[in-house]
Structure 1
Amino acid sequence: MNMSEEDVQQKLRDLFSDERLGAESTLNPETIVAGARRRRRRRQLMQTTSGMAAAVIMVGGGLTVFSIHDKDNGAIISADQLSLGQSATSQVQPGPASPAPTASSSAPQTSHAPAPPPSTASDGPAKPPKSTAATKPPAQGKVTTGALLTATGFGKLRLGMSESEAEAIAGPLRAKEVRGACTYGYAEGTAVPGPTSVSLTEGNGITVINPAGTVHTPEGIGVGSTEADILAAYPGSTKNGGAYIAPAGAVSAYRIFVSGDGSAVSILLTSLDQGCQFS
């Protein structure tokens, strides 16, 4: 049964005014009620404070259960102190701030992927690469057609033979003609591969051998050879009019006549020291 404060005061007044107490009480009912109210509030405050203190002590390093005493009614809470130990303290109390990981240690290193190769796709047909080297005309190759004309002679005829020696081998010179110091004739027969014009002098003998047919040299130069072929076979050649003078031996040379397109058309053999015409 709950009683209001007024009911309690009235009950206290009746109690203290009872004549059976034998003396008038000096206690004031309002003072008693006010004191009881203060004790009740103090008890509630202490209970709240004890809970907060327990939480603070647990965070600080251990669990502390303590006694709170009321001045008027004695102990409200009896307790002893318990230590949680160093392990609990280390878990609750924050330690020194750990340094934040540096960007170089925590950030993953990024690897740069190689750039993709340029596209080989073509919008049109592939173009051949441009050549920087000068294009040379293809070599004609060695010419082996016709009779062989060497640096010393043609067949059995030799440069330097006298007229009598030449006629002893090839027979009398046909169409012999003397013009000044030079004698011109025409030799044929088994002594030569084909009809041949010769020029000679009394002092030097045969100085020019000019075959009428197609011939070629041991170096492969003949009818159809190009100027490039001639220069390649005889690097010391010089051009004189429409013919190349190509060194053949110590005392002889080839006279290679070329057409307008630069191809060889005929070849004769001559001594280097001679003054007769080419018949």
Structure 2
Amino acid sequence: MNISEDELEQRLRALFADERLDLPPPPDAGTVIVTGARRRRRRRHVVQAVAGVAAAAVVVAGGLNVFRLHTEDGTAAMSPPGTGAGVKPPENLTAGRSPEPSSPGPTGTQSIQVSAPPGAATSRTPRPPASPRPSTLPAVTSGPLLAADGFGRLKLGMSEADVIAQTVTLSDAQAGAGCTVYKAQGSGVPAAASVVISKAAGLVVVTPDVAAHTAEGIGAGSTKDQILATYPAAKDEASDVVAPAGGAAEYRFRLGETGVVQTSLTSVTQDCAG
């Protein structure tokens, strides 16, 4: 159905004028509106008061921390308000250029310590490591020398007559089967010693009565480890350690609680006990 615009307008006006479409306001509408307006007004006042207090706190804090900038000789100095001293920044504080580090000085009664950046060299000289304690005792050089071929003028293989010819006195003879033990003394030997002379092989054993040492520094007080380190071919034999002394002789070291207590030189070609 088609209707004209005028007819439509009239129908709408009649519809809007119908009293049945009116919604009457509640009896307390005015009171509700006034109360809501007062509530919004109080909230606005509270918000304004809080904002004012916060602004005042910010202003006070900023006043305590603000730095006064002023220009002097083309440079800028910074100092807290209320103090006369200023901290002068580096001279190269210009736009586009980062300041170079400078050494801070003491302020007032406080000393400022600057930590070195990682990787920077420090001026403290490192303490040298403690010297390790030696694992072995020093070489023994005290007492007479018991060489690899004899003792003083006595040489392995000498006959009894040859020994006496070296201004050595033989005494306290203890004869055995083919061998005789003597006490040897005199200017031909550095110190008194016990010697064994074989009728077939001559002088075969020399044992000084005092602490003697070898040419390699093994003597009284030397440890077994020292003997083995000095003579790698040394071997245990009962309570002794036997080490080669050249091709024709060997050393026999008697060990005690303090190390070597006696050293003997023995021929490897002999027919009697040492």
With the length of structure 2 as denominator, give the TM-score of the two structures.
0.50
Offset at residue 146 of structure 1 (A): 0.4
Residue 274 of structure 1 is matched in structure 2 by 270
Residue 30 of structure 2 is matched in structure 1 by none
Residue 240 of structure 1 is matched in structure 2 by 237
CA distance in 2, matches of 1:164, 1:146: 27
Q: Secondary structure at the match of 1:229?
A: helix
Residue 52 of structure 1 is matched in structure 2 by none
Segments of structure 2 that go 5 or more residues without pairing to the other structure are: 1-117, 119-131
Residue 89 of structure 1 is matched in structure 2 by none
Offset at residue 137 of structure 1 (A): 7.1
Listed one character per residue, the Cα deviations across residues 77-116 of structure 1 (whole Å, up to 9, x for unaligned) are xxxxxxxxxxxxxxxxxxxxxxxxxxxxxxxxxxxxxxxx
CA distance in 2, matches of 1:240, 1:212: 21
Offset at residue 141 of structure 1 (A): 1.6
Pairs within 5 Å for 1:1-279: 138-260=135-257, 263-278=259-274
Residue 90 of structure 2 is matched in structure 1 by none
Indicate conservation of the 8 Å contact 1:141/1:229, yes or no. no
Residue type of the alignment partner of 1:157: L
Offset at residue 177 of structure 1 (A): 2.3
Indicate conservation of the 8 Å contact 1:242/1:258, yes or no. yes
CA distance in 1, matches of 2:230, 2:223: 11
Identity value in percent: 39
CA distance in 1, matches of 2:226, 2:266: 20
How many pairs does the alignment contain? 145
Segments of structure 1 that go 5 or more residues without pairing to the other structure are: 1-116, 118-134
CA distance in 2, matches of 1:137, 1:231: 16
Q: Secondary structure at the match of 1:270?
A: strand
Offset at residue 275 of structure 1 (A): 3.2
Indicate conservation of the 8 Å contact 1:170/1:187, yes or no. no
Offset at residue 151 of structure 1 (A): 0.3
The change in CA–CA distance for 1:172 and 1:142 in structure 2 (over 3 A counts) is closer
CA distance in 2, matches of 1:155, 1:167: 13
Residue 91 of structure 1 is matched in structure 2 by none
Flag the structure with larger Rg.
1
The change in CA–CA distance for 1:207 and 1:142 in structure 2 (over 3 A counts) is same
Offset at residue 227 of structure 1 (A): 1.0
Listed one character per residue, the Cα deviations across residues 23-63 of structure 1 (whole Å, up to 9, x for unaligned) are xxxxxxxxxxxxxxxxxxxxxxxxxxxxxxxxxxxxxxxxx
With the length of structure 1 as denominator, give the TM-score of the two structures.
0.49
Residue type of the alignment partner of 1:269: L
CA distance in 1, matches of 2:146, 2:159: 19
Residue type of the alignment partner of 1:271: S
* RMSD after superposition: 2.0
Indicate conservation of the 8 Å contact 1:237/1:244, yes or no. yes
